[in-house]
Amino acid sequence: MLKILSLLAMAVLSTAALAQQKSAADGIAEYRAMLADGNPAELFEARGEDLWKKKRGPKNASLEQCDLGKGPGVVKGAFVELPRWFADTGKVQDLESRLLTCMETLQGLDAKVIAATPFGKGEQVGMEGLTAWISAESKGMRFNLSQSHTQEKVTYELGKRTFFYRAGPYDFSCASCHAQAGKRIRLQDLPELTKNPGDGVGFAAWPAYRVSSGELWSMQRRLNDCYRQQRFPYPGYASDVTIALGVYMGVNAQGAQSVAPALKR
Amino acid sequence: MAGCATLPPGPNYAELVKQMMDASFRNEGIATTDRLIQDQANAACSEAQGANPPDAVVEAIQQAALKSVRMPSDGKFTGDWREGAKLAQNGRGMTWTDKTALPKDNGGNCLNCHQVTKEELSYGTIGPSLYHYGKDRGVLDPESPEARPIVEYTWTKIYNAKSYNACSGMPRFGHAGLLDEKQMKDLMALLLDPKSPVNR
């Protein structure tokens, strides 16, 4: 089924490419419309909700008492306020680093081991579901990250500097691709991330189900592949650099409507 | 916009960024953490955050870049545009999933950012269109004395794009050892040979 979907998507995309060079966006929009009632991300959401409620780990506990920022167990609306400062850890955390904290404190799982697990394997499969479900619970809501704590402001500035940090064999930074409006790599439209790129674009479009690979990509995985293409070394899962970028993009996206989990080619 | 919030005084952000980078990245395959080290140009252009560094810094970066450029060892600037076309299409190289960092395993990545021919519609728009590059500049024979200034300019641009634009977004294909001399000559032919699809 997923393979058929990806073939279909490619067909739509190549048709668009032949017809006009304007953008892959038209082909993707058409394809999205076809799938309006059946984003495969729903399968991941269901898995994530189950996992949230399931008792497991050495402490045989669920994640239902996890505080994502709006109090223990409150999921609705949490996603569009992350990353944010958490008093109990003394850190600014994004959704995934916060989930690691909850899995460790509530369930007794080893956060380091989970962070070191490759995407799409073991506990990371669970993370895909959890991020899909938790983001879906805020679908249609608008990003509203706090900048009231000093550490939130400092992290924004660190994220901004990270965004413009040029290095590596190609001299690329995030800004190489994402600091101007209306640009493309090949036919792929690039969101401008130095400001609010609009509802459901950029930061407001991840996690997303990727039709081409049949995978659910969280923001951590999205950033990881950006850094691969930037020709940088490997960013640690939930590392400070990734969280700082999340704060920078999330604050810039203030007021943007979240469509996560979105559907991508 | 919240992003305009005033910063608390105190933190040494440059130092904090360095610590954060060191703690966040690890080696993976050919992509090792020494890639995080910035030379003068990357440090100054990062600091400027999309604007231009001070004039004196720009001048110093461009002078240093110009000095780094080595002209072709045999004095011939153009190779085979057909090979150049393949390189322009090839967007591979230098990621942690690539086997080696050798030029033979690297593409030119041109189409990622530039229009190159009229026929290829799948091109990026971060860089300017290169369609009719040689034709628009009146190049009839790239190896002729008349064409020499534009030919040397183009070689320099490919070899080290910072020679003319300190914070150019383009990789330094010669200076960074991304492409070898033959590959760069093939790209030169693609851009300058009147028979190349770029100029037809």
- Residues of B within 8 A of A185 (CB-CB) are 112-113, 124, 126
What pLDDT does B31 receive?
98
The shortest CB-CB distance from B35 to any of A17, A162, A169 is to: A169
**Which band of pLDDT confidence, cut at 50, 70 and 90, is reported for residue A31?**
low
Mean pLDDT of A246-264: 97
Interface test with A, best of B49, B52, B89, B92 (most A CBs within 10 A): B49
Mean pLDDT of B56-81: 98
Tokens of residue B87, six digits: 């390189």
Dump pLDDT digits (tens) for A80-138. Answer: 999 999 999 999 999 999 999 999 999 999 999 999 999 999 999 999 999 999 999 99
**Whether residue B185 has pLDDT greater than 50:** yes
**Which band of pLDDT confidence, cut at 50, 70 and 90, is reported for residue A265?**
confident
**Whether residue A177 has pLDDT greater than 90:** yes
* Higher pLDDT pick, A145 / A20: A145
The b-or-e profile of B23-60 (16+ CB within 10 A means b, else e) is ebbeebebbebebbebeebbbbbbbbeeeebeeebbeb
In terms of Cα–Cα distance, which of A218, A43, A202 is closest to A119? Answer: A218
Q: Can you count the helices (H) and strands (E) in chain B?
A: 8, 1
**Which band of pLDDT confidence, cut at 50, 70 and 90, is reported for residue B6?**
low
What pLDDT does A152 receive?
98
Contact B113, B126 (CB under 8 A): yes
Mean pLDDT of B137-157: 97
What pLDDT does A38 receive?
74
Q: What is the gyration radius of the CA atoms in chain B, in angstroms? A: 19
Tell me which residue has tokens 């300019």. B153
Interface test with B, best of A171, A194, A247 (most B CBs within 10 A): A171
Determine the straight-line distance between the first and last CA of chain A, rounded to whole angstroms: 15
- Amino acid at residue number A153: K
Tokens of residue A237, six digits: 């899962």
Contact call for A228 and B96, based on CB within 8 A: yes
- Amino acid at residue number B22: D
ipTM entry: 0.94
Contact A79, A30 (CB under 8 A): no
Contact residues, A window 225-254, toward B, CB-based 8 Å cutoff: 228-229, 231-236, 239-242, 244, 248, 251-252, 254
- Judge whether B4 is closer than 8 Å to chain A, CB to CB: no
Is the sign of the CA dihedral A182, A187, A193, A197 positive or negative?
Answer: positive
Tokens of residue B122, six digits: 């799948």
Omega cis (within 30) before B9: no
Dump pLDDT digits (tens) for A220-235. Answer: 999 999 999 999 999 9
* Higher pLDDT pick, A143 / A16: A143
What pLDDT does B11 receive?
87
- Distance (Å) from the C-alpha of residue B200 to the closest C-alpha of chain A? 19
Residue/partner pairs of A125-128 with CB below 8 Å, 24 or more apart: A126/A47, A126/A48, A126/A51, A127/A96, A127/A99, A127/A218, A128/A44, A128/A47, A128/A48, A128/A207, A128/A215, A128/A216, A128/A217, A128/A218
Instruction: Compute the distance between CA of residue A255 and CA of residue A144 in angstroms, rounded to an integer.
Output: 6
Instruction: Compute the distance between CA of residue A107 and CA of residue A30 in angstroms, rounded to an integer.
Output: 43
Pairing mode, if any, of strands A188-190 and A208-210?
Answer: unpaired
**Whether residue B182 has pLDDT greater than 90:** yes
What pLDDT does A23 receive?
58
- Amino acid at residue number B189: A
Q: For the residues of B65-100, what is the DSSP string, one character each?
A: HHHH----TTS-----HHHHHHHHH----SSTTSS-
**Whether residue A21 has pLDDT greater than 70:** no
**Which band of pLDDT confidence, cut at 50, 70 and 90, is reported for residue A212?**
confident
3-state class of A192 per DSSP? coil
**Whether residue A174 has pLDDT greater than 60:** yes
